[in-house]
Amino acid sequence: MGRKAEGRVGFIGLGTMGREMARNLIEAGCIVRAYDVRREAIDELTALGAEAASSPADAARDADIAITMLPDTPQVEEVVYGAGGPKSGLLTNPPRGRLIADMSTISPVAVRRMAADLKAAGIDMVDAPVSGGPIGAKNATLSIMAGGETDAFARAKPFFEAMGTTINHVGAPGAGQAVKLCNQLICGINIQAICEAIALGRACGVDLRQLREVLLGGSAASWMLDKLGPSMIEGETGAGFRIDLMLKDLRLVQEQALSLAVPLPGTALVTSQYLEARAHGEGAHGNQALFRVYDRMTNQSAQPTG
Ligand code: NAD
């Protein structure tokens, strides 16, 4: 569990990550009013002590802060600007505390536009994407990288501390997303590197479980090798962080890089492999399923050793 916190939170988006983050806010001492387009997701949260909301505006109304944890840019824009017409979004129905923290991974350009529109209406927006995956969300050990005005970040921080342990203010609105895109680029290329090492180790007849343990003790160690290595080796495809969500992030990385004329050849290569995985119907699988691309390239299937 994270640090103790108090206050009212409107939480919008109760999926793999949002469900656990909202639960940690409740356990920390906050009153959480929760909304998702899926009724069953709201029911799950009310069973944990949340109040049920009938819309994003209803979730936010009495809150000190509204937090969104949604798949992509269009969903966050829908919640801010309103899907049921301009009067239904948070822009015209802000939380009482006039503070919104979007913790999804979305376009930094869209964040800057929304933050400016909200600011013109006297509402502060902090972009605060996270790293640490479903395990970090569950254990309240997320790394949270926030962009926004200093005062807005200070007001949001106690809520972030209930969900994470590494919390940094990295600049103006959009800066949190820029740092997150750098994070995702490293994650994608790192997963690819692990796939290549396991493909080579398998071809050499090495015990793959031992290979992973040995690598974890040296300079090739990484979070991805530690957390995703076992399911890669066993051919287990269950989703924590889905292939299609990583593809969304790699698209955001490339859009940003292209607009600034920054060549990212490594990112371009791994993006092609993610596209190949999705073309094989694996978009809903976890990121470790990128190894299936290497199965196909080597005409092999997962072979647990030992
Ligand atoms: P998810 O798809 O599991 O959850 C998203 C939730 O939003 C779903 O419950 C969905 O029903 C709900 N939703 C969609 N549109 C909505 C709308 N208009 N209004 C209200 N609710 C709506 O996704 P997730 O894995 O929880 O990821 C959420 C965000 O966090 C994404 O941007 C993702 O890239 C990022 N992220 C995910 C992970 C991970 O490991 N899963 C890690 C770090 C960051």
- Nearest CA to 251 out of 268, 265, 273 is that of 268
Q: Whose CA is nearest to atom 42 of ligand 1?
A: 133
How many Å apart are CA 74 and CA 62, to the nearest integer?
25
Q: Which of 87, 157, 180, 227 is catalytic?
A: 180
78 CB near ligand 1 (under 6 Å) = yes
For the chain, domains (ranges, CATH) are 8-171 (3.40.50.720), 179-298 (1.10.1040.10)
Q: Give the model's pLDDT for residue 1.
A: 65
Residue 217 alpha carbon to ligand 1 centre in Å: 34
Q: Whose CA is nearest to atom 41 of ligand 1?
A: 241
How many Å apart are CA 121 and CA 203, to the nearest integer?
60
Q: At what angle do helices 291-298 and 175-203 cross, to 10 degrees?
A: 40
pTM, to two decimals: 0.94
Give mean pLDDT in consecutive 10-residue pieces for the chain, a chain of 306 residues.
88 98 98 98 98 97 98 97 85 97 97 98 98 96 98 98 98 98 98 97 97 98 96 90 96 96 98 98 96 94 52
Residue 248 alpha carbon to ligand 1 centre in Å: 12
Q: Is residue 180 flagged as an active site residue?
A: yes
Q: How far apart are the first and last CA of the chain?
A: 37
Q: At what angle do helices 16-28 and 39-46 cross, to 10 degrees?
A: 20
Q: Which residue out of 70, 181, 187, 250 has the highest number of ligand 1 atoms within 8 Å of its CB and is therefore the one to mutate?
A: 70
Residue 158 alpha carbon to ligand 1 centre in Å: 22
Residue 42 alpha carbon to ligand 1 centre in Å: 14
CB environment 285-295: b (16+ within 10 A), e (fewer): bbbbbbbbbbb
- Nearest CA to 104 out of 80, 139, 135, 120 is that of 80
Given a contact cutoff of 8 angstroms between Cβ atoms, the answer to whether 228 and 240 are in contact is no
Q: Which atom of ligand 1 is nearest to the CA of 72?
A: 32
- Nearest CA to 193 out of 290, 297, 298 is that of 290
Q: Whose CA is nearest to atom 15 of ligand 1?
A: 75
Q: Give the model's pLDDT for residue 207.
A: 98
Q: Give the model's pLDDT for residue 302.
A: 58
Q: Give the model's pLDDT for residue 43.
A: 98
